[in-house]
Amino acid sequence: MKTKAILTIGAAVVALYSCDTKNYTEADRVQVTKNLESYVDSVENAVKMVPVHNWSVIDERYDSLDSRAEKVYKDLDIEDDNLDMIEERYEVAIKNGKAEAENFERTADMHMKNVETWWDKTSAEIEKGAKNTADDIEDATQESMDWLEKNFDKLDDNSKKKYEDITLKLRKD
């Protein structure tokens, strides 16, 4: 009877211990941290190179990686400031990226308005018989045209269309 009780208690302890085992390993922790850090690195680089992004997609991917990392850390019962530092870097990158995007959009709008104003003024003259050529573009307008051409791939679709329409009409005339 004593042996049966010891075996029962032993089985209960083993069962309890097996339920308490970790689902993740140290290698998992290292990998999820590396994945999260690599993603933040890529976000930091991307926002420096291109001003326009789909922020919701970026946030969704970060949240997915962060959630996985937190799950692994929690399972391993580890507290690590590294995740907090990575999160801080991510938030700064997003803040800076959004500020750059807003600045880019303001600059693009300014240049587009400059070109549109010039076009509206000169296209009326064309109808009166004055021929308009690329040589007739004023310096400030040419600067705007150059900026728009240089940043064409980064413009929103509406600005691209406006720019293409004006340059096409300008070449025809």
Per-residue pLDDT tens over the stretch 77-96:
888 788 999 999 999 999 99
As to burial, measured by CB atoms within 10 angstroms (0-12 exposed, 13-18 middle, 19+ buried), residue 148 is buried
What is the total count of domains within the chain?
1
Residue 111: give the domain boundaries.
Answer: 22-172
Q: Is residue 55 part of a domain?
A: yes
Q: Is residue 6 part of a domain?
A: no
DSSP annotation of 51: S
Look-up of token digits 């089985």: 11
The C-alpha atoms of residue 137 and residue 28 are separated, in whole angstroms, by 61
CA 25 to chain centre: 31
Report pLDDT for 13: 46
Task: Locate all alpha helices (DSSP H) within 50-156, ordered by sequence.
Answer: 55-75, 81-127, 139-150
Report pLDDT for 38: 95
Q: Provide the whole-model pTM.
A: 0.66
Residues found in the chain: 173
Report pLDDT for 172: 67
Q: Both tokens of residue 88? A: 């801080």
For the chain, residues with pLDDT lower than 50 are 5, 7, 11-20, 129
Q: Is residue 17 part of a domain?
A: no
Report pLDDT for 134: 54
Q: Is residue 2 part of a domain?
A: no
Report pLDDT for 16: 44
Q: Is residue 12 part of a domain?
A: no
Q: Is residue 7 part of a domain?
A: no
Q: Both tokens of residue 1? A: 């009877």
